[in-house]
Amino acid sequence: MDNKLTYIACIQELLVVEKQNIIFLLLPAREPTKVTMNDLKGDFKKADIEIDFYPEPGSGHYLKMVHNGIEYGMMQAIAEGLELLNTQKQFDFDLSQVTHNWSYGSIIESALMDNIHEELAKDTQLTQFNQKVHASGEAKWMVGEALQEEVPTPVISLSLMKRNASLTELPFSNQVLSAMRYNFGGHKEY
């Protein structure tokens, strides 16, 4: 990967975002660059690297932001499945082994599954990580864009909300729900 980044860093005014085996090149939309996409495509082809080009200004960034929003939903689905396996009392699952198996030939095989397998292999309880999960803005942007375009994105929206909820130790809204349940039905929370 180093030779790719060295090459890319030589190109004037490019922003490079590296994610696993994908390198996003974000060209400035308003300023011409001395290197054309055809030059880049030829050089990347020589290095056996595939590259796609989206020529409309801003389209590559839009694509990258949607990609990262999808990532939020996928991460949340993996987290929820592992939470169920970890919490249920019927069976004893080695989550490191489960995620290892799911990383090879499973329909949910992915870089994200590889990532969590690596962490679970080090520590099956993930004790070095706290329960707060911050959002860096991509999913928030995507949810806003989806609302503007009137496209339903419930999985990504809920994954963003789950991250936001993780930042509050004791959400007041839970106390409000508990108080209402008690008030109308005498339900006590334990």
Tell me: the pLDDT tens digits for 50-83? 667 776 777 878 888 898 899 999 999 999 999 9
User: pLDDT by residue (tens digit) across 102-155?
Assistant: 999 899 999 899 999 999 999 999 999 988 898 988 999 999 999 999 999 999
pLDDT of residue 180: 85
pLDDT of residue 22: 52
Check: CB of residue 113 under 8 Å from CB of residue 102. yes
64 flagged as catalytic: yes
Between 169 and 160, the higher pLDDT residue: 160
Listed in order, strand segments (DSSP E) in the chain are 15-19, 22-26
Judged against a pLDDT cut of 80, whether residue 5 lies above it is answered with no
Judged against a pLDDT cut of 70, whether residue 86 lies above it is answered with yes
Q: How far apart are the first and last CA of the chain?
A: 53
Between 148 and 41, the higher pLDDT residue: 148
The pTM score is 0.74
pLDDT of residue 163: 92
Which residue among 71, 80, 132, 149 is the active-site one?
Answer: 71
Check: CB of residue 93 under 8 Å from CB of residue 175. no
Which residue among 13, 64, 80, 145 is the active-site one?
Answer: 64
Q: Look at the alpha carbons of 140, 162, 67, 151 in this order and tell me if their dihedral is positive or negative.
A: negative
